[in-house]
Structure 1
Amino acid sequence: MPPKIISCIWCSKITKKNSFDQTKSSWRNICTKGYQWIHQLIEERGSDLETEMLICGKCLTMLYEARKRRETANGGTSLSKRRNKIPKVTKQNDTLDNLINIEGFCGDGNDEEYCIWCLKYSTETVPLSAAERISLLCDYKIYCSPNVRRCVNRCLEIPVQRTNEPTRLTAKQTISIINDLIDEVNRVKLMPIFLENDSVGSEEDFTAWTGWNLNQLMEMTSLIAPHMYKSKHRSPFEAVCMYWIKLKTNLSFRQIGTIFKIQTTEESIRRRVPSEKYFKKSRKKTRSSKTGTRSCK
């Protein structure tokens, strides 16, 4: 008979039943009344209480420390005492609490004290940008709060899946995530297709339109940028891309700017683009140096 698999009610850490029996000191059964304060925290996360609830020692220690910090911040008033002061709410009022169940998504927004990717505590973390949060939502269907964090060393490429964290949002949280989505759509809509670090275009797109790959274009930019005019409308990298696209397609700079979402204005439409005159001058210098070398010989 295969061993029974059990998991932590808080972090979903999985272990076998026989392993649990051998290491009882690191696991706790929290079904008793003494752990009612943990039951309340589980319900606040949007999870359901189970008949058999086990928690690993790491999560239990973390919850005790968080409880101690809360009591200190609230002048020594325990969580259970503060809960007793709050009047009981009927099920009818619960349905009117504006909680929206987002089916198919996971993450309860309680993610300030651990890495959203590996779910580990006590690691050095950095906050996620709005674009990274939206990427988690769209690519992995993981909801996270604006205060979410991730390990500095980029611990995992794919975030750990949650199985017991249903996403239930208040009206305010729903409005916030919709606004974030709108901002991200507008950002991508106006973002140029060819960028050095966050490009919408692929490596094949660079080669097809310019004849060069991304690394070659970046190397050209570093060499040519000191000889180019400054402009607030285009970056040096965009200008180099425009130059090679024009040579390959014979489109006008305005047409290129429209297709690739690069800003162009009447007075500075060609200003950031390295002129053919500069390249011809460079070629002449190269040829003259070669001729001089030959004549010396």
Structure 2
Amino acid sequence: MTLSSNLSSNAGVAPRPKMGKRLSDRLTAAFSYALLIAGAIVILAPFAWMISTSLKRKIDVYVFPPEWIPDPIQWGNYAEALTTFPFPLYTLNSFTIVVFVLIGTLFSCSFSSYGFARLRAPGKDLIFLVLLSTLMLPAAVTMVPLYLLFNRLGWIDTFLPLIVPSFFGSAFFIFLMRQFYMGVPKELEDAARIDGCNAYSTWLRIMVPMTKPVLATAAVFSFMWTWNDFMGPLIYLTDESKRTIALGLSYFQGSARSSPELHLLMAATIYSIIPCVLLFFVSQKVFVKGIVFTGVKG
């Protein structure tokens, strides 16, 4: 009787540590979610204000306290903003530059990174170190020499200064892709060589199809950087018909008006970020996969 009573009493006490642990885990999870929600609200508040402002009347923009839900909603702000300046033309110019930059970046960086990762050559590591050292140079240091070079070539007021450099590679993307290539098993290349593939065909037929995640990552970064680039078009483009969408937004903001029309500027800004948002959602899975596996060797 004494043994059974002890067992029964112990059986009643045993679940208490588990219940305490569950409560602690729930409190930790609740605190984590609350912190994430608070951070998300802080980050998304300016974006929500931008959307709200783009749908307001001009007289309602500076009302305090601000009205988050416009009344009435002015959908015509978008049409008015896009016709004030030729934003469809600016969009076409931006897409033209972005497409050629993507082609040049993916080809040159993928080809160069495969050489750094797999091919044997004297001084290869030193060349790679010099390449990485270019990441330390601020853009302002090379701005004047590049402008003088492109001016001597007669490329000013053309898209060439914005497109041609991408065909010579980017140190950041070369480093990113090299780390990915180093994680690909060498047995695949050995099998390709046995089948008669040389270095070029091995890179094109074996390595490129296997590195779609890192190529997608480079494409997303390159698209966003090129699409939002302001300094390059500002320096090299002077003709209004060649302006990009980032440059058009700047001229829209600084145009001569009786008073700032912030609601139209926000509408044009929403229009300009739609391609970047759509690109991220379309390539999100491949993009995240490329970030996770880049640099993992073995």
Question: Between Structure 1 and Structure 2, which shows a larger proportion of helix residues?
Answer: 2
Bigger relative CO (Cα 8 Å, ≥ 6 apart): 2
- Alignment TM-score > 0.5, same fold: no
TM interval, short-chain normalised: under 0.3
TM-score by length of 2: 0.21
Larger Rg: 1
